[in-house]
């Protein structure tokens, strides 16, 4: 059988891909004609071309892919006519090909309204990579832009204009609202104001009557007699099916364009199919890629059944397609699913409209409140996948229906239905039509990574929106199969950090090599050395540079300082609670001057000295220790600082002496090695000047004692600490902290802060409280003893380093010229100090 495909866009390519996959008997030959110079590329993500993606990045398959799969590909060569009687097509370049079956995947062109002046220079359409290249050239000298079209494509084009640097851009929509097909008035209003925040000017109910200018566009005029100056215009007002070839071949077309097809996607000639945006099915043109892919599958199923003379089953008809969409428009989430507008008897709507945060959500629910019929999300579309699945699979809604858009408020448990409640035939990836069942099957077959599942099922390879659900399904399936999701350190250890911690303790291993010999394999690496070294330090409280463990330390720990740009180090002496005497301040100033260091106050109420040469570190520390300072462990995954407010000793509001308590806490836990850095805070009253609730542990004075908060952090994903215990005295507070910290040190994964550790903990803060306060694990006595041991064995590592000759001699840049400093270190002057030279 010979199949000729006219059109090499996304749907035309998908047709080839699916036909190749199903053509196992190799009895179908394929010839493709495409009019563009490139093989099919990803038009959906066209705007990323501006964001730095190349034409190659957008490409769906290389020319080689076609030839490797036996497909003859004619590029830059449109078909100009079809002889249906002789079942032959003729191309522009003179190629003649006969066919058994012909597939029209000619797609669509931009719809250009008949406005006088559209032919002027500076007026563009937005459809192909060539269009984009023309726009890029023109945009360089353009200052005032406009886009005709406030629908999905128009707003994409507006984003393209912003990306091109034409920030003064007006969007002109003929309808009374933006995205009239997808969202309702209220949603549109919100989108409108969000887009205006980004600098776009939006006009609705505006009808362009003329494009003005001589050769090039200079302005636009509208039916309300208004006008404005514009030097670049993009028309993106909709699509027009490419049906001219079909028309010329006397195939039936719709009154407003589109090649008429039946449920089998056959045109009025049964040997000719039409798929994608050129096909008119039941009076509808589908302008999205997912239905186009579905059409490709339907035709592939029919052709392979015919070629192999096998029964067709039910995969040979197209029954319409859900037009649900989710997109991120210029940073604003917009989604609609099911029937977004349905109203009337038997339908109720729940609307959440928060104009402060800029979120609008509407769901339409059946009268009995059990079924989700459709909805709209603007500003926050996180629940889109779940809602779409709930809607499509008619999953019964929970009693408090509003929870599905608002989340459960108070109380426990999941809001509504999770992935587990979906039926097996629920489509998770709508781009590739992959069901929950096939994803779970892939996991059961051993594809236990998201990448593996992507390769095996193709789920998540389209828009990527379903990837979080794919991951959830993978984890659920693995858990249901009784599989522990292995969380091993690296190729040298088949254990998680927690397992290693217990095994090292049980076997009393004390050096990295002993651990590797007994519990691992191979020669180690930068992934397993630091966590193992950290476990050894947590367990045995020995000086970390002890022989055998020195070179297993992460390099900041190895040199007891933080490496900075240019290869010099920074030095942070401990200043417990942020309290420091004038004499000590003077010493820091003197040391900084002597060694020519840049000084800065840190976020943790300490002083950081930057720009120290490696070989100066021991001398600097010798002077600091002489003055009574000790290591601040700024380089280690260990306790950093306990920040305090001034408290009741000076402050007129202070309830207790927060500084004294902070110093006590900091000195108790100094040097404690942990999976990640630890920060604390103590505030003398509820005004919380120490910002203790943003720390791994925070203590706040109350009338009756102290409130203890845990597991907060700043960083990239700030999270407030949660209340663990209230109105407790200092001793109880330290006891709870001992247990909490040891629980964390023992069980967290490498580089996991307490906040993330708690987020992953089943049962959350309630469980943590049951362990730390109520001793649910029966471990508290052991943990308190371990902390006591830590406190008693603490010594300053810098003191040990400068007093031990074989440790001290490692602090040189050149092993064969220890007196010389690295000559490549260069500083630039800045504000009476210096800075590291910018790297290349």
Partner 1 sequence: MIAEKTITWFAACSVSDVPANGGVCVKNNDTQIALFHFTRRDEWYATQNECPHRMQMALSRGLIGTQNDEPKVACPFHKKTFSLVTGECLSGDACAIKTYEVKVEDGVVFIGIDE
- Identity of the residue, 377 or 552, whose beta carbon is nearer to partner 1 in the bound complex: 552
CB of 57 to partner 1, least distance (A): 17
CA distances from 403 to 9, 349, 407, 417, 468 (A): 41, 14, 5, 10, 20
Decide whether 61 or 563 has the Cβ nearer to partner 1: 563
- With vertex at residue 674, the alpha carbon angle to CA 778 and CA 579, rounded to the nearest 5 degrees, is 110
Q: Which is nearer to partner 1, 799 or 813 (CB)?
A: 813
Shortest Å, Cβ 638 to partner 1: 18
- DSSP per position, 458-477: -TTSSS-TTHHHHHHHHHHH
> Does 651 count as an annotated binding residue?
yes
* Least distance between partner 1 and beta carbon 490 (Å): 9
- Dump the DSSP string for 362-419: EEEEETTS--EEEEEEES--TTHHHHHHHHHTTPPPPSSTTHHHH---SSSS-SS--G
Q: Of 69 and 551, which CB lies nearer to partner 1 in the complex structure? A: 551
Nearest CB to partner 1, comparing residues 452 and 567: 567
Min CB(465)–partner 1 separation in Å: 27
Q: Scanning the structure block, which residue is given the tokens 């250009």?
A: 112
Q: Nearer to partner 1 by C-beta: 181 or 810? A: 810
b/e code 405-417 from CB counts within 10 Å (16+ = b):
beeeeeeeeebbb
Q: 3-class SS at 246?
A: helix
Q: Which is nearer to partner 1, 255 or 823 (CB)?
A: 823
Residue 429: which of 379, 463, 382 has the closest Cα? Answer: 463
Q: How many CB atoms lie within 10 A of CB 626?
A: 9
Three-state DSSP state, 349: strand
Can you tell me the distance from the alpha carbon of 254 to that of 155, in angstroms, rounded to the nearest whole number? Answer: 28
Instruction: Identify the DSSP state of 40.
Output: P
Query: Could you give the angle at the alpha carbon of 494 between the alpha carbons of 492 and 495, nearest 5°?
Result: 115
Of the pair 56, 314, the CB lying nearest partner 1 is at: 56
CB of 815 to partner 1, least distance (A): 4
Whole-angstrom distance, CA of residue 661 vs CA of residue 705: 12
Rounded least distance, CB 146 to partner 1, Å: 43
| Residues 761, 232: Cα–Cα separation, whole Å | 55
At closest approach, how far in Å is the CB of 714 from partner 1? 22
Q: Closest approach of Cβ 495 to partner 1, in Å?
A: 17
Task: With beta carbons less than 8 A apart as the criterion, state whether 252 and 267 touch.
Answer: yes
Nearest to 289 by CA among 54, 39, 108: 108
Whichever of 294 and 557 has its CB closer to partner 1, that residue is 557
- The pairing of beta strand 101-104 with beta strand 272-274: parallel
Tell the residue number behind the tokens 């590329």, with chain if given: 41
Phi and psi, residue 42, nearest 5°: -80, 95
Which region, left, alpha or beta, applies to residue 308 given φ > 0 means left and ψ of -120 to 50 means alpha? alpha
Evaluate whether 237 touches 148 at the Cβ level (below 8 Å): yes
Q: Which is nearer to partner 1, 324 or 570 (CB)?
A: 570
Q: How far is the CB of 823 from partner 1 (least distance, A)?
A: 8
What CA–CA distance (Å, rounded) separates 284 from 275?
12
> Measured from the CB atom, is 15 or 559 closer to partner 1?
559
* Angle at the Cα of 435 from the Cα atoms of 429 and 441, rounded to 5 degrees: 120
C-beta pairs of 134-141 under 8 Å, 24+ apart in sequence = 135/160, 135/164, 135/232, 135/234, 136/50, 136/164, 138/232, 139/164, 139/165, 139/166, 139/232, 141/231
Whether 645 has a binding-site annotation, put simply, is yes
Q: CB 526 → partner 1: shortest distance, Å? A: 4
Rounded Cα gap, residues 202 and 154, in angstroms: 11
Tokens of 764: 């959350």
Q: How far is the CB of 416 from partner 1 (least distance, A)?
A: 41
Query: What's the chain's length in residues?
Result: 840
Distance in angstroms (rounded) separating the CA atoms of residues 594 and 533: 34
Q: Say which DSSP state 742 is in.
A: H
For partner 1, the closer CB: 366 or 511: 511
What does the binding site for partner 1 look like in residue numbers (CB under 8 A)? 491-492, 513, 516, 522-530, 547-548, 550-552, 554-556, 558-559, 563, 565-567, 810, 813-817, 820, 822, 824-825, 839-840
Closest distance between partner 1 and the C-beta of residue 671, in Å?
A: 22
What's the min distance (Å) between Cβ of 810 and partner 1?
7
- Tell me how far apart the alpha carbons of residues 330 and 176 are, in angstroms, rounded to a whole number: 21
Closest to partner 1 by CB, 458 vs 813, is 813
Residue 532 CB, shortest distance to partner 1, in Å, is 12
How far is residue 295's CA from residue 11's CA, in Å, rounded to a whole number?
8
- Within 8 A by CB and 6+ apart from 508, the residues are none
Could you give the 3-state DSSP secondary structure of residue 33?
A: strand
Angle between helix axes 467-480 and 384-392 (nearest 10 degrees) is 70
In the complex with partner 1, the residue whose CB is nearer, 641 or 752, is 752
Q: CB-wise, 113 or 522, nearer to partner 1?
A: 522
Q: How far is the CB of 749 from partner 1 (least distance, A)?
A: 18
Whole-angstrom distance, CA of residue 400 vs CA of residue 416: 8
8 A C-beta contact, residue 147 and residue 169: yes
Which residues are documented as binding site for [4Fe-4S] cluster? 645, 651, 685, 689
Which residues are documented as binding site? 645, 651, 685, 689
Which residues are documented as binding site for siroheme? 689
């Amino acid at each position: 059988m010979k199949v000729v495909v006219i059109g090499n866009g996304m749907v035309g390519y998908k047709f080839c891909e699916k036909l190749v996959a199903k053509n196992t008997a190799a009895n179908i030959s394929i010839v493709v004609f495409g009019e563009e110079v490139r093989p099919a590329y990803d038009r959906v993500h066209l705007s990323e071309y501006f964001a730095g993606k190349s034409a190659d990045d957008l490409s769906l398959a290389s020319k080689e892919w076609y030839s490797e799969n036996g497909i003859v590909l004619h590029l830059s060569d449109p078909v100009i006519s079809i002889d249906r009687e002789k079942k032959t097509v003729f191309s522009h370049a003179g190629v003649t090909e006969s066919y058994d079956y012909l597939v029209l995947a000619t797609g669509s062109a931009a719809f250009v309204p008949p406005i006088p002046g559209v032919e002027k220079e500076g007026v563009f359409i937005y459809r192909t990579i060539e269009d984009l290249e023309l726009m890029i050239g023109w945009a360089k000298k353009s200052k005032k832009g406009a886009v005709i079209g406030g629908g999905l494509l128009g707003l994409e084009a507006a984003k393209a204009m912003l990306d091109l640097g034409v920030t003064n851009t007006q969007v002109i929509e003929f309808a009374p609202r933006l995205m009239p097909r997808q969202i309702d008035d209220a949603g549109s209003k919100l989108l409108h104001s969000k887009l205006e925040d980004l600098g776009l000017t939006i006009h609705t109910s505006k009808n362009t009557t003329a494009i003005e200018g001589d050769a090039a566009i200079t302005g636009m005029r509208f039916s309300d007699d208004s006008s404005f100056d514009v030097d670049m215009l993009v028309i993106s007002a909709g699509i027009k099916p490419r049906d001219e070839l079909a028309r010329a071949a006397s195939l039936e077309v719709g009154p407003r364009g589109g090649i008429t097809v039946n449920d089998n996607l056959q045109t009025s000639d049964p040997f000719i199919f039409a798929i994608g945006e050129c096909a008119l099915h039941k009076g509808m043109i589908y302008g999205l890629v997912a239905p186009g892919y579905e059409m490709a599958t339907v035709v592939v199923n029919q052709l392979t059944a015919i070629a192999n003379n096998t029964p067709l089953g039910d995969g040979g008809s197209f029954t319409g397609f859900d037009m649900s969409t989710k997109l991120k428009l210029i940073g604003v989430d917009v989604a609609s699913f099911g029937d977004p507008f349905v109203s009337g008897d038997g339908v109720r709507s729940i609307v959440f409209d928060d104009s402060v945060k800029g979120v609008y959500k509407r769901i339409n629910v059946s009268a009995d409140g059990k079924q989700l019929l459709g909805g709209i999300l603007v500003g926050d579309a996180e629940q889109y996948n779940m809602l779409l699945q709930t809607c499509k699979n008619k999953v019964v809604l929970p009693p408090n229906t509003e929870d599905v858009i608002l989340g459960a408020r108070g109380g426990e448990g999941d809001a509504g239905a999770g992935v587990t409640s979906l039926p097996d035939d629920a489509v998770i990836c709508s781009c590739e039509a992959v069901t929950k069942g096939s994803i779970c099957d892939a996991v059961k077959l051993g594809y236990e990574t998201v990448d593996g599942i992507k390769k095996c099922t193709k789920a998540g390879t389209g828009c990527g929106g379903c990837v979080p659900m794919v991951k959830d399904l993978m984890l659920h399936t693995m858990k249901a199969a009784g599989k522990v999701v292995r969380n091993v350190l690296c190729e040298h250890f088949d254990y998680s950090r927690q397992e290693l911690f217990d095994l090292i303790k049980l076997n009393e291993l004390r050096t990295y090599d002993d651990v590797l010999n007994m519990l691992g394999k191979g020669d180690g690496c930068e992934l397993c050395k630091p966590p193992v070294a950290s476990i050894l330090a947590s367990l045995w409280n020995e000086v970390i540079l002890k022989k055998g463990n020195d070179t297993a330390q992460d390099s900041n720990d190895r040199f007891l300082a933080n490496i900075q740009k240019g290869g010099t180090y920074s030095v942070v002496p401990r200043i417990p609670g942020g309290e420091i005497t004038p004499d000590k301040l003077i010493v820091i100033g003197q040391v900084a001057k002597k060694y020519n260091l840049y000084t800065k106050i840190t976020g943790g109420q300490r002083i950081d000295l930057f720009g120290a040469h490696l070989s100066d570190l021991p001398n600097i520390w010798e002077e600091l220790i002489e003055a009574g300072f000790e290591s601040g462990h700024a380089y280690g995954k260990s306790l950093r600082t306990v920040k305090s407010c001034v408290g009741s000793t000076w402050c007129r509001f202070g309830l207790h002496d927060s500084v004294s308590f902070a110093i006590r806490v900091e000195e108790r836990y100094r040097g404690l090695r942990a999976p990640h850095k630890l920060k604390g805070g103590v505030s003398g009253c509820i005004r919380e000047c120490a910002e203790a609730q943003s720390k791994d542990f925070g203590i706040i004075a109350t009338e009756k004692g102290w409130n203890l908060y845990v597991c907060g952090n700043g960083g990239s994903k700030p999270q407030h600490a949660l209340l663990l215990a209230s109105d407790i005295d200092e001793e109880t507070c330290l006891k709870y902290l001992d247990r909490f910290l040891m629980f964390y040190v023992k069980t967290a994964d490498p580089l996991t802060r307490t906040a993330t550790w708690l987020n992953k903990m089943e049962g959350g803060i309630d469980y943590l409280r049951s362990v730390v306060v109520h001793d649910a694990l029966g471990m508290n006595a052991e943990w308190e003893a371990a902390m006591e041991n830590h406190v008693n064995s603490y010594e300053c590592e810098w003191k040990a380093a400068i007093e031990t000759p074989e440790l001290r001699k490692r602090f040189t840049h050149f092993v064969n010229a220890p007196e010389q400093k690295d000559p490549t270190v260069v500083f630039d002057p800045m504000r009476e100090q210096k800075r590291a030279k910018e790297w290349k």
